[in-house]
Chains A and B, each alone.
Chain A
Amino acid sequence: MIDGTATDAPAGPSVVRPARRRRRLLIGLAVGLAGLAAAVLLSLVFGSRVVSWDEVVGGVLAPDPNSFAEQAVATRVPRTALAILVGGALGLSGAVMQGITRNPLADPGLLGVNAGSALAVVLGISVLSIDSTGEYIWFAQAGAAGAALLVYAVGSIGRAGATPLKLAIAGAATSAALASLVSAVLLVRTDVFNVFRFWQVGGVGGADFGEMAPVLPFLGLGLVLALLSSRGLDVLALGDDVARGLGGRVGPARVLAGLAAVLLSAGAVAIAGPIGFVGLVVPHAARVFTGPGHRWLLPYSALLGAVLLVAADVVGRVINRPADVPVGIMTAVVGAPFFIWLIRRAKVREL
């Protein structure tokens, strides 16, 4: 490795990291941060009620109990924070999953994680009467991990390993199977269905900081593990055989990264419900700025994921005023065309 760590960057022009690349990274950072600032601002301003600048400042710093506008802004603060949190987690976990599976189409939703969480949560609500985020999280995690393992096991069977096509089909099949079990429960329990139908569209409305708190440790741990696994993912990207040849430990690297991806995506599902396509789309956008190396790709994916989800939430609030279109619907409607474009562009080989 000529340039293994950040500290030994040579003084002169580097062979592996030319100035052009660095400029791209900076541009990406600027775009990401500016986008996030703009999205957050819009998220505070827009809603069923549009507010003025003073009211935004007032609402964020010290909401005046007598001002409806400032109260409205105050409720948008946790919502925006939640969107940042969830978007970041989904973007990051998507990038990690794409790295582990060496598959540009990997995404928590497509890989059955959402369906696994949904089934576990439904069982929790109906059988054990759980009703708070703090309880959802354990069920969501377990369901997500189980489904992800199952899908990956199915998708990597056969000589060619986990090809994009096999993984996508295995994810769709597992999701269909789990969904049918979910509806078996819901058909008998209309009360559970009445809670579940709102959870399953995925949304960040009605957020409060108290509900977010129990999930934070999971997301934090996931973030740390994800960033730790970036070097392992870079080696994995070359294929298992080459990775072993370079001295990489394929199994542990994959387990560490997989744990990170599941913690992040299941944490997001637990607080915001299943939100699709963020994990799929964001890493591709991030790669434009960072290239394929995971050291930069991972944090950029988190940043852009937050931008995307906050923006999608704002659009969902504005598009059908005064009602909200849940952010999970918005990401599907925006993400699917991108996904299709990606497929049309790529030369996806036959099995």
Chain B
Amino acid sequence: MSILAAGRAVRLRRRTVVTALLGALVVALFLLALVVGDRIYGLADVLRVVLGQDVPGASFTVGRLRLPRAILAVLIGAAFGMAGTLFQTMLRNPLASPDILGIGYGSSAAAVVAIGFFGAQGATVSVVAVVAGLAVAFLLYALSWRGGVQGSRLVLIGIALGTVLLAVIQWVLTRIEVYKAAEALRWLSGSLSSAFWGDLPPLALAMAVLTPAAFVLSRRLSVLQLGDDAAAALGVRPNSTRLLLVLVAVGLISVATAAAGPVAFVAFLAGPIAGRLLPGASLLLPAAFVGAILVLGADLVGSNLLFTTFPVGVVTGAIGAPYLLWLIARSNRNGGRL
């Protein structure tokens, strides 16, 4: 029994330490994002702005531009990270993240139609995107229902819906003027460049509801991982749990997409990276941190280090592609399942 407790303590300590390090990295990158830009402000100035003091110059650049952008990066990174890991764990497949399955395209298609055809902006786009995202989630769940919802059916139908929605997006892009289409493309790539304070309250509010829900569900998810029959025997209803998981995950994806566009691969990358650092652990919190790190880091790279400024989604996409190949190579080596 003491052996048992000791082993658990070792694992628990490792989890705590790694999670805390990830959290510290989020804070460090957050501050770096406030410090670095066209002009570099000292950390002291930045902290004073954050605390609400008036610092000439810095108050505008840091307070009005960089701070909301960095907060937005943390929030959507966490949202994508949590949603991705919920899906991947539920479907037992690292490739089955909502962005890869095209589930996020529901929000994107609605937003592109709203921007392109109705000239919608700001909050309207967000509301439309969230509603459409949830509608797609319901549709997906309903279409996958056949006396129960099987994970693999959910994946395949998700891909089919994603393909149709992508066709809609592409069609809309041909129907509008090129400058509007370029604007829409920028949004579709996932970008933080239009972040301002007004965007944040709805996103923060939605996440304040969805995040606790995700954590409550993650306990049931840890049982659902053992297979439907084992989960049912332990008192977890597989189908209703999956419905709730899909709703929460798609909700997170939708609100994040509405705020910043579909930032490629963050949902896909966060869970597996967290899983590499913490094998066998519950990944929700670490994945949220990793998601935030990815978005903050990619935005720093995209806006400062390249020959021209790229939206954050292009950078995460460029990281995601090689990771995909690496995932393939790794599975190939140990003959595991993908």
Residues of A within 8 A of B (CB): 105, 109-110, 153-154, 157-160, 164-166, 168-170, 172-174, 176-181, 183-184, 186-188, 190, 193-194, 197-198, 200-201, 276-277, 325-326, 328-329, 332-333, 336, 339-340, 343-344, 348-351
Contacts and interface: CB of A to CB of B under 8 A. Distances in A.
Contact-residue size bin, chain B (C-beta under 8 Å from the other chain):
35 or more
Given A110-B159, A336-B161, A343-B160, A187 B170 contact: no
B167 A348 contact: no
Contact of B155 (A154, A168, A178, A198): A168
Contacts of B186: 187
Nearest to A328: B167
Given A188-B308, A326-B171, A326-B174, A180 B264 contact: yes
A172 B87 CA distance: 15
Interface string B306-332: 001011011011101100100010011
B320 A344 contact: no
A349 B181 CA distance: 41
Contact of B320 (A180, A276, A277): A180
B39 interface: no
A329 B109 CA distance: 14
A195 to B, nearest CB: 10
A329 B157 contact: no
A158 B338 contact: yes
B23 interface: no
Contacts of A186: 185
In terms of DSSP, what is the predominant structure of the interface of chain A?
helix
A166 B167 CA distance: 23
A176 B324 CA distance: 10
Contacts of B225: none
Given A109-B163, A168-B159, A186-B185, A201 B171 contact: yes
B157 A340 contact: yes
Contacts of B314: 180, 183-184, 187
B215 to A, nearest CB: 26
A349 B156 CA distance: 12
Nearest to B143: A340
B325 to A, nearest CB: 8
